[in-house]
Structure 1
């Protein structure tokens, strides 16, 4: 394994971490205008027993609080103390964005669209380059946590590239309510993992700037199931039962607003709706207009727009169009 010597000592960011040790390292990101350093804390826990290295990350988009909360709970509850191998947790990758509650880096770039980065490029690209070369090669398995953008709420889901069939067993073990087929996006963190041959599960749940306890629970329980499968979960933990199998969505479509106005939702994430069922209404502020939003097809709602106001053409619901048996 890259980064481990013949004595199973982990070499990372110029430090040596022996089996059984734990350490918090600061990954230097850049400096503020005041020359104050901005650093990304990396929490490392190692077992004395050899085993895989799992990398758990969140906050690639700085305003996605749910992912940060999931990784925080994994650390706080000591789930990250492995029975074997190594667990590396990075609760907030984009510290700049987290400080400002913004999705992007200060240079305006989406960090999740510049991987694997370049050594002399933009700030986001430079960080992606350092992360890809100094941190990612250590991992045998990655878990990355995200939420919906803006006012859009994602149902708890694992996204899997349909071409990566080897990831499906892991997605089912994670046990989120839904598994959604989703192609890897060019220059994303997930696509870089795939090119490096490192298995990665991408979790989506909730919406930006909001912490949701049900979403956090789904994420933490999924981490525990994966670690248990890898024989890395400490024996003191009880593995959360998966109440039902994940629903696998092969394809989906966005239902968009036909009119501008005030949005009133009648259905929510996770609901199964039937074609032509009224799932929302759009009204004007004056009490003279009321439009019924009807489901375009039978399917599960996996994303809802929770904004109070919408413009014509805004995405309101993301609905499945085909399931995998």
Structure 2
């Protein structure tokens, strides 16, 4: 008999514990109204717009827990007079002004709140544990709504100019004044970057495997992971590249000028050369455009070196694009516009030897002008490379040893004057419509059949060259392209 009360008490306690446990478990698993969007950890605001420096850690005050210093710096900042006046006006009328609120950006398993700058990590999981590090992804989500612009660099691991360009752009954005979000991936091909190589460790070119295949080669799997986890979150993309195999490029944009949204992007870079090219099969640019995301390639400089002129030009162009998309305030940079090139061709070495150039990058040339010479170091036989067209040197080989057939000079054939876009003032107000179209309509664009012209767009006619005897140049071939 004495045990019965204890058993009854124990049974009641057990039932109560089970009830509390069930309630607690339900509260922990309860998520948002949309079951397809589970809660994600909130990303830390690292304030990328402010310079950072390593500082020695100071010892904590005795008897005071970490993180509770009680200094004046921890006090909340005073409200600005304009903000106070705005709140007072809204409360007086009782009808605060309606304004669309920026939304958190969900990316790579994290949620980036508005007015936040942070670093995330992407890993394709195609390596042994501990052999490679995760790839850093810089994110700045603005305080105001707007499009999401993505910057990708070092898809080829030996191309350094894009890495520095992404750093300068991302670390100088102010989240509080940004409309939309900017995602920057400074080093996509971390495997190649570690080895100073253009290619992945399996000797494949990552920029020939997009959008990728989850069951394909290592390169195809990496491309598939990056395309689905990062690229598909973008409304527009700028893919940064340099020349390949000791070639250097004049800062230039490459894009499919048959796509109206791509054309609008190219007009937002200020005074930058534009070259029509739909991109080789498997490039990020081509795969993204086919997925409805307007994308351009920004080529500048040579591999394995950091060129201040190329980096500065690229940074200015991207900042101007941000303004054109209505993401930052008015930003004037440029003067006269650069021409558009709808055709280009590669002048190749006919023999092997040491090449020495006689022209400068960006120089205008006429048919018959001497571009450079190739000298056999054994026989001292010298062969000249002369331009077959009137045009401009958009890319060229650095002085080096070359083999027969090496693509040495990239000559752009200028379009007629009526096809060159006139200069326009770059303002946030004038760019509002463009930003809305890219943000809302880029992913809804209907794909065009192969070889078909987009609706309501005149076919591109490059027009005859100034020399009537000039043969029609060939378009850029995949083997000569750098991106």
Q: TM-score, normalised by structure 2?
A: 0.62
TM-aligned CA deviation for residue 113 of structure 1: 1.1
TM-aligned CA deviation for residue 135 of structure 1: 1.4
More contact order relative to length (CA 8 Å, sep ≥ 6): 1
TM-aligned CA deviation for residue 37 of structure 1: 4.3
**1:230 counterpart residue number:** 325
Q: Does 1:47 align with 2:139?
A: no
Structure 1: stretches of 5+ with no match in the other structure: none
The within-5 A match list for 1:7-18 is 8-18=103-113
The within-5 A match list for 1:303-322 is 303-322=395-414
TM-aligned CA deviation for residue 159 of structure 1: 0.4
User: SS state of the match for residue 217, structure 1?
Assistant: helix
The within-5 A match list for 1:153-232 is 153-232=248-327
Contact 1:153–1:205, Cα closer than 8 Å, also in 2: yes
**2:190 counterpart residue number:** 95
Contact 1:74–1:80, Cα closer than 8 Å, also in 2: no
Structure 2: stretches of 5+ with no match in the other structure: 1-35, 40-100, 418-483
TM-aligned CA deviation for residue 195 of structure 1: 1.9
User: d(CA) in 2 for partners of 1:80 and 1:21?
Assistant: 6
TM-aligned CA deviation for residue 196 of structure 1: 1.9
User: SS state of the match for residue 275, structure 1?
Assistant: coil
RMSD: 2.4
TM-aligned CA deviation for residue 82 of structure 1: 5.5
Range with bigger deviation, 191-200 or 75-84? 75-84
**2:202 counterpart residue number:** 107
1:228-282 C-alpha deviation (Å, 9 max, x unpaired): 112212x4xx724212212111111111112222211110221001111122122
**2:86 counterpart residue number:** none
Q: Pick from 230, 234, 237: which aligns with 1:135?
A: 230
| Count of residues in correspondence between the two structures | 321
TM-aligned CA deviation for residue 219 of structure 1: 0.6
Q: Pick from 192, 197, 213: which aligns with 1:118?
A: 213
User: d(CA) in 2 for partners of 1:284 and 1:316?
Assistant: 16
**2:170 counterpart residue number:** 75
Contact 1:31–1:37, Cα closer than 8 Å, also in 2: no
User: d(CA) in 2 for partners of 1:243 and 1:80?
Assistant: 29
Change in 2 beyond 3 A, CA 1:125/1:287 = closer
| Greater Rg by CA | 2
Change in 2 beyond 3 A, CA 1:279/1:3 = farther
Q: Pick from 5, 17, 25: which aligns with 2:120?
A: 25
Q: Does 1:150 align with 2:150?
A: no
User: d(CA) in 2 for partners of 1:324 and 1:101?
Assistant: 41
**1:256 counterpart residue number:** 348
TM-aligned CA deviation for residue 167 of structure 1: 1.7
User: SS state of the match for residue 219, structure 1?
Assistant: helix
Change in 2 beyond 3 A, CA 1:303/1:4 = farther
Contact 2:396–2:409, Cα closer than 8 Å, also in 1: yes
Higher helix content, 1 or 2: 2
Q: Does 1:66 align with 2:66?
A: no
Contact 1:32–1:38, Cα closer than 8 Å, also in 2: no
Runs of at least 4 residues off by over 6 Å: 2-7
Change in 2 beyond 3 A, CA 1:203/1:81 = farther
Contact 1:224–1:240, Cα closer than 8 Å, also in 2: no
User: d(CA) in 2 for partners of 1:80 and 1:9?
Assistant: 13
